């Protein structure tokens, strides 16, 4: 009888264990993230696209498969410039993009992407993570039911591909040019007609002549896109984008449904992505520049006079935007106050 009772107890324990395991498995399945992530950049495009691919792969690995965010090529789900509305409405889970694309939604978001005559990556990230920048960005995106995390950064871009040499600001007037973010407002101020065109559509527009010139990104990235086949004059420095931030946009309801552990895993993966993108971007430019020169491209540096004209135009644009838009002013005031304080450290701590 004693043996029989023990067998019954053991069987009951096994059944209970099985039920608990099943419950836990069901809970784990329910908690598993399985999102679709649209991208503004093709996966094969160095840095801009590969940064999003690497992020999704790293999240899958570090979460043990608990977070699966599938990368989709541009236009596979929705056109890149329509992802904001899709995420806001919940028809798209997430997107790999940059806040600079959403000037038409919230002018202030452009300040979280790239600022003309703005900071290098270290200074910019200091404001984002320790100077109140990310908190402001959270507040602005939340108005649209979007949660976003800064998730990548690249070092300075070049500032334009031109068919002819540019010797003065007057040479820019009347040109039709693809231009991004706040820098486009500066170019418009000096007489350039600008268009925001997604990366994959720039070469055909340049080839057809619907634009006369373009800027896009860094030498290694521009090399991939083949602009050198049409325009042979390549200008530096990237006064409009001394550093550029990228973000992971997520539907707010989907974000809120994550566990605390999952949220920390995504935040940590983004922070790692920032470091790796910056390191890679700094390492691959000089070889790309040498290859471009070998293909007949002339590398130019803007004259001090042209840079001065552009900076004056930017100061005017920034003042006007701050006067027109209260949120832009709030972010701009935070950004400029941080930079003023940082300048004390920068002037003494760094070699000129």
SS3 readout for the chain: CHHHHHHHHHHHHHHHHHHHHHHHHHHHHHHCEEEEEEECCCCCCCCCCHHHHHHHHHHHHHCCCCEEEEEECCCCCCCHHHHHHHHHHCCCCEEEECHHHHCCCCHHHHHHCCCCCCCCHHHHHHHHHHCCHHHHHHHHHHCCCEEEEEEEEECCCCCEEECCCCCCHHHHCCCEEECCHHHHHHHHHCCCEEECCCHHHHHHHHHHCCCCEECCCCHHHHHHHCHHHCCCEEEECCCCCCCEEEEEEEEHHHHHCCCHHHHHHHHHHHHHHHHHHHHHHHHCHHHHHHHHHHCCCEEEECCHHHHHHHHHHHHHHHHHHHHHCHHHHHHHHHHHHHHHHHHHHHHHHCCC
For 111-162, the pLDDT digits (tens) are 999 999 999 999 999 999 999 999 999 999 999 999 999 999 999 999 999 9
Instruction: Using pLDDT thresholds of 50, 70 and 90, give the confidence band for residue 4.
Output: very low
Position 280 pLDDT exceeds 80? yes
For residue 315, the model assigns a pLDDT of 97
The answer to whether residues 310 and 245 touch, using CB atoms and an 8 Å cutoff, is no
Position 20 pLDDT exceeds 60? no
234-257 average pLDDT score: 97
Which domains, ranges and CATH numbers included, belong to the chain?
A: 33-154+243-283 (3.40.190.170), 160-241+284-349 (3.40.190.10)
303-310 average pLDDT score: 97
181-195 average pLDDT score: 95
Instruction: Using pLDDT thresholds of 50, 70 and 90, give the confidence band for residue 31.
Output: confident
Q: What angle do CA 67, 84, 106 make, to 5 degrees?
A: 130
pLDDT, averaged across the chain: 92
> Going by DSSP bridges, is the β-strand pair 244-251/94-97 parallel, antiparallel, or unpaired?
antiparallel
- Lowest mean pLDDT of 20-34, 261-275, 290-304, name the range: 20-34
Position 244 pLDDT exceeds 50? yes
Rounded distance, CA 166 to CA 169, Å? 8
- Of the candidates 80, 52, 114, the residue with the CA atom closest to the CA atom of residue 198: 80
Instruction: Using pLDDT thresholds of 50, 70 and 90, give the confidence band for residue 2.
Output: very low
Position 194 pLDDT exceeds 50? yes
**Residue with the two structure tokens 């001090």:** 304
- Count of CB atoms situated within 10 Å of the CB of 343: 11
- Lowest mean pLDDT of 9-13, 213-217, 308-312, name the range: 9-13
- Of the candidates 328, 112, 196, the residue with the CA atom closest to the CA atom of residue 188: 196
Instruction: Using pLDDT thresholds of 50, 70 and 90, give the confidence band for residue 352.
Output: confident
Instruction: Using pLDDT thresholds of 50, 70 and 90, give the confidence band for residue 198.
Output: confident
The answer to whether residues 153 and 125 touch, using CB atoms and an 8 Å cutoff, is yes
For 153-170, the pLDDT digits (tens) are 999 999 999 999 999 999
Position 339 pLDDT exceeds 80? yes
Instruction: Using pLDDT thresholds of 50, 70 and 90, give the confidence band for residue 9.
Output: very low
Position 24 pLDDT exceeds 90? no
For residue 22, the model assigns a pLDDT of 37
For residue 29, the model assigns a pLDDT of 43
Position 3 pLDDT exceeds 60? no
Q: What percent of the chain has pLDDT over 70?
A: 91
Whole-model pTM?
A: 0.88
């Amino acid at each position: 009888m004693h043996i029989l009772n023990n067998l019954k107890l053991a069987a009951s324990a096994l059944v209970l264990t099985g039920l608990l395991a099943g419950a836990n498995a069901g809970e784990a399945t329910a908690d598993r993230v399985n999102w679709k992530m649209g991208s503004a950049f093709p996966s094969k495009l160095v840095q801009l696209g590969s940064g999003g691919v690497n992020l999704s792969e790293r999240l899958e690995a570090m979460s043990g498969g608990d977070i699966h965010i599938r990368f989709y090529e541009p236009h596979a789900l929705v056109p890149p410039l329509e992802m904001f509305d899709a995420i806001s409405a919940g028809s798209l889970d997430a997107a790999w993009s940059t806040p600079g694309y959403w000037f038409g939604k919230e002018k202030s978001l452009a300040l979280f992407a790239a600022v003309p005559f703005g900071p290098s990556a270290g200074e910019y990230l200091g404001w984002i993570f320790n100077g109140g920048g990310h908190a402001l960005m959270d507040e602005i995106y939340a108005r649209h039911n979007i949660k976003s995390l800064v998730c990548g950064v690249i070092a300075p871009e070049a500032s334009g591909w031109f068919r002819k040499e540019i010797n003065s600001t007057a040479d820019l007037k009347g040109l039709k040019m693809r231009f991004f973010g706040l820098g486009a407002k500066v170019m418009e101020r000096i007489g350039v007609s600008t268009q925001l065109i997604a990366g994959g559509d720039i070469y055909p527009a340049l080839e057809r002549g619907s634009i006369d010139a373009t800027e896009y990104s860094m030498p290694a990235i521009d090399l991939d896109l083949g602009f050198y086949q049409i325009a042979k004059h390549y200008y530096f420095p990237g006064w409009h984008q001394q550093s550029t931030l990228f973000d992971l946009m997520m539907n707010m309801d989907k974000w809120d449904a994550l566990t605390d552990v999952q949220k920390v895993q995504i935040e940590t993966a983004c922070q790692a992505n920032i470091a790796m993108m910056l390191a890679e971007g700094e390492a691959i430019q000089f070889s790309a520049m040498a290859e471009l020169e070998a293909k007949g491209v002339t590398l130019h540096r803007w004259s001090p006079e042209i840079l001065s004209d552009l900076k004056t135009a930017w100061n005017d644009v920034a003042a006007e935007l701050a006067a027109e838009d209260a949120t832009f002013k709030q972010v701009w005031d935070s950004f400029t106050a941080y930079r003023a304080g940082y300048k004390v450290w920068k002037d003494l701590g760094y070699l000129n």
